[in-house]
Amino acid sequence: MNEVESVKLPSEKPEFQIFIQHTHSPKMLKKHAPHMPNSLAAVLTLFLSSALTFLVASTHKAHAQTDSAAPSSTAAPAASTPKPSTAPKPSASPAKPPVKPSATPAFVPEPSKKFPKVVTKLMVEDLQNGRGRTAKPSSKIVVHFTSWLYDPTQPLGRGPQFESTQGKPPYKFQLQNPETPHIKGWEQGLVDMRVGGRRRLIIPPDMGYGNNGAGQTIPPGATLLYEIELVDVE
């Protein structure tokens, strides 16, 4: 038997491969320690043999525990967590074709009695009653006025405006004066009006400028609308 032998502890893993040199006889110890008594060399040899045996046994045990802790390649696969079932979505109902609204005829309001479509006679309406002196035939009167071409489709019957004294001096004239005649609608429509009052006149063509019209502002056969304020009676 060799005096020195290398012992390899059984293991398949590198971390457990341990090499230990040990002696097999007291002669080896005496060789290195010639003055050591034979009895002491025998005791040391026994001690080293026991330590080697314990170390080998411990290594086997550690190796067995490591193998048991390693996961096995044949282990059953972990049960997968079942996914919650997804409720089927209701199928989309087919889109309904848009319902086209039935065509309704354009609303045409009925003409107001105050603003008829055709005016055949003088229409007089007091917008504000006055409390002053009363205008009589041959009275000299002072008035403010605004005039429009009559249009019953427009608010208050006001078509294009063609004359006004607003922002200007008032207009003065004498009622029913044969020497300075005015249109019949004025001559008749302002009688009995009181100072401070406001009056609307809708004058048919035959009481206005007739079939001739007046310049470029009043066409032939025009119905006229005036709003007149009586400022004073002299």
How much is the pLDDT for 216?
A: 87
Q: Please tell me the pTM assigned to this model.
A: 0.53
Give the separation between CA 123 and CA 142, rounded to whole angstroms. 21
With 0-12 / 13-18 / 19 or more C-beta atoms within 10 angstroms meaning exposed / middle / buried, residue 231 is: middle
Question: Cα separation of 220 and 218, whole Å?
Answer: 7
Q: Which residue has the tokens 């004066």?
A: 177
- CA atoms of 189 and 202, how far apart (whole Å): 9
Q: What is the DSSP letter of 215?
A: T
The C-alpha atoms of residue 110 and residue 225 are separated, in whole angstroms, by 20
Structure tokens belonging to residue 226: 């005036």
Supply φ then ψ for residue 228, to 5 degrees.
-125, 135
Please say whether the beta carbons of 162 and 226 come within 8 A: no
* Tens digit of each residue's pLDDT, the chain (234 residues): 444 444 444 444 444 344 444 444 555 545 555 555 566 656 666 666 666 666 656 655 655 555 554 444 444 445 555 555 555 555 555 566 665 555 544 444 444 578 999 999 999 999 999 999 999 999 999 999 999 999 999 999 999 999 999 999 999 999 999 999 999 999 999 999 999 999 999 999 999 999 999 988 999 999 999 999 999 998
What's the Cα-to-Cα distance from 12 to each of 17, 59, 60, 62, 67, rounded to whole Å?
8, 11, 11, 12, 10
Helices within the chain (DSSP H only): 26-32, 38-69, 184-189
